Structure 1
C-alpha cells in the first residue's frame, strides 16, 4: 500500500501539464504568482503600470 501511495504522490508534482492550464484559467492563481500585486488586482495594476510606462 505504501508503494502505490508513494507513486501517486510523486506523479502529482511531476504532472505539471494539469497545473499550467489551471493557473491560466484562474486569474486568482496569477495574482498569487505576483507577490507585488498580491493584495491589489494584478490585472488592473499591471495594465495601468504598462499604460503609464
Structure 2
C-alpha cells in the first residue's frame, strides 16, 4: 500500500470474487440514469423516501 489508498491486490481479489454483484449494482438502469442525469424524478423521490425511512 502507498499509505493512503486501497491495496490494489485486495481490490483485484474482491473484484474477482464479487464481479457479478458489482456489475449488477453499477449497471442497474436506475444507477445508470442517476449517473447520466436522466433519472426519472418520481422514481428518484420514491427511492429517496424509502432510503430516508431506513435512517
Q: What is the TM-score when the length of structure 1 is the normalising length?
A: 0.31
Query: Bigger radius of gyration, 1 or 2?
Result: 1
Which gives a bigger RCO, structure 1 or 2 (Cα 8 Å, sep 6+)? Answer: 1
TM-score by length of 2: 0.30
